[in-house]
Amino acid sequence: MRINLTPQVRPDTFAVIKNGDVLTINGDPVDLSVIPDGATLPHGAIDNEWIFGPIDRVDGKLHLTLILPIGWTPEPWQAFPDPIIDPPDGPLDLPWDTYSDTTSEKVAGGTKVVVTTYRWHQEPAIETTFVPDPVQPQETTDGDN
């Protein structure tokens, strides 16, 4: 199976599970096993908004294109995704948005802030920052100048 991804800016979530020649796309099973070798189903032959373009079976392998929802500022791996070649059964490893988790902890003299950034197919990046407590102004009397 060869699955090409065509990015499209849209706010939808997207999950695909493969089981043989059946793709379950956002909970909707699409059985592609009925496509014989050498055949092409034209765009729109299968009623699923995520399938874009024709579906071919060439030398026993299915070739199709799925829409990949992306945001307005996609990462390079989302804007220019590689095809998914012969994926195993189970959830497809689809490119996803970078996201960060921030935690803070009060420590002596300030706050420790930890930002963990998660990127598709990369180790998490962890950045720790110490933010000191504000300096309290000293009270003075008029005769101390």
Tell me how far apart the alpha carbons of residues 123 and 100 are, in angstroms, rounded to a whole number. 13
Comparing 136 with 59, the larger pLDDT belongs to 59
Angstrom distance (rounded) from CA 128 to CA 110: 13
Those residues whose C-beta lies under 8 Å from the C-beta of residue 59, and which sit 6 or more positions away, are 37
Q: Kindly state the average pLDDT of the residues 69-78.
A: 90
103 and 86 fall within a common domain: no
Note the Cα 37 to chain centre separation in Å: 32
pLDDT tens track for 109-129: 999 999 999 999 999 999 999
Is residue 128 within 8 Å of 107, Cβ to Cβ?
Answer: no
Q: Is 85 in the same domain as 108?
A: no
Residues 53 and 106 in one domain: no
User: Are 85 and 106 in a shared domain?
Assistant: no
Indicate whether 139 belongs to any domain: no
Residue 44 structural domain:
2-91
Write out pLDDT tens, residues 92-112. 999 988 899 999 999 999 999
Total count of domains within the chain: 2
> Would you place residue 130 in the very low, low, confident or very high pLDDT band (cuts 50, 70, 90)?
very high
CA distance 40 to 51: 14
- The pTM is what? 0.78
- Amino acid letter for position 97: D
